[in-house]
Amino acid sequence: MIGRIVEKVGASGVFLFFVVVAYIILGIIDFEVVLNTLPVFGRLILRIFPVLILVFGIMFLTNFFFKAESIARILGKGSGLRGWVLAISGGIISSGPIYMWYPLLGDLKEKGMKDSLVAAFLYNRAIKIPLIPMMVYYFGWSFTITLSIYMVLFSIVNGIVVERFARGGKP
């Protein structure tokens, strides 16, 4: 029964269903809290919308210009240093919240992008050039530069370790 529902609506539908159920339960307990989330939700959607369009555009261009084989060549096994540079710089340049990039990365992964490069891309989403002045304001230049260098270095470590463990230690 549950298996058939999951098959019909997909795991993503089940996930959304559970979130809606959580909201309903919370609404029964304290309806005001649910009401208070509505403006937060609205602001979030408004902020995210341009990024959503950007991600859609990049996905469209990827599907238009690249076949799975070329993605696998650029970001797959044997992509070497170029793959790392692309993943790290892509992660730093990309804007918006991390979860907005899951659809694109999932798509690229299906086409052959390595787990290590997906992980490195996601890790470098932490370094946001437009926000550097704010970090400098709060913590100073030395902290900002040191932390940013460590983040880039650890994104490589993170990628290598994730690749090894995500495949159950298989090379």
User: CB–CB of 113/78 below 8 Å?
Assistant: no
User: Distances from the Cα of 60 to the Cαs of 73, 77, 100, 104, 112, in angstroms?
Assistant: 19, 24, 15, 10, 17
Any contact of residue 44 with another protein (CB under 8 A)?
A: yes
Any contact of residue 53 with another protein (CB under 8 A)?
A: no
Crossing angle between the packed helical segments 68-75 and 80-93, to the nearest 10 degrees: 100
User: CB–CB of 155/124 below 8 Å?
Assistant: yes
Site for another protein in 71-130 (CB under 8 A): 97-100, 102-103, 105-107, 109, 115, 118-119, 122-123, 125-126, 128
Any contact of residue 134 with another protein (CB under 8 A)?
A: yes
Q: What are phi and psi of 170, to 5 degrees?
A: -75, 140
Q: Exposed, middle or buried, 27 (CB in 10 Å: 0-12/13-18/19+)?
A: middle
- Per the listing, tokens 């993943």 go with 87
Q: Which is nearer to another protein, 19 or 85 (CB)?
A: 19
Count of residues that bind another protein according to CB under 8 A = 64
Query: Quick one: which of 6, 16, 21, 129 contacts another protein (CB under 8 A)?
Result: 16
| DSSP3 helix / strand / coil % (the chain, rounded to 5) | 85, 0, 15
Query: Quick one: which of 31, 69, 89, 146 contacts another protein (CB under 8 A)?
Result: 146
Any contact of residue 50 with another protein (CB under 8 A)?
A: no
Please give the residue ranges that form the binding site for another protein (CB under 8 A): 10-13, 15-16, 18-20, 22-23, 26, 33, 36-38, 40-41, 44-45, 48, 52, 56, 59-60, 63-64, 97-100, 102-103, 105-107, 109, 115, 118-119, 122-123, 125-126, 128, 131, 134-135, 138-139, 142-143, 146-147, 150-151, 154, 157-158, 161-162, 165-166, 168
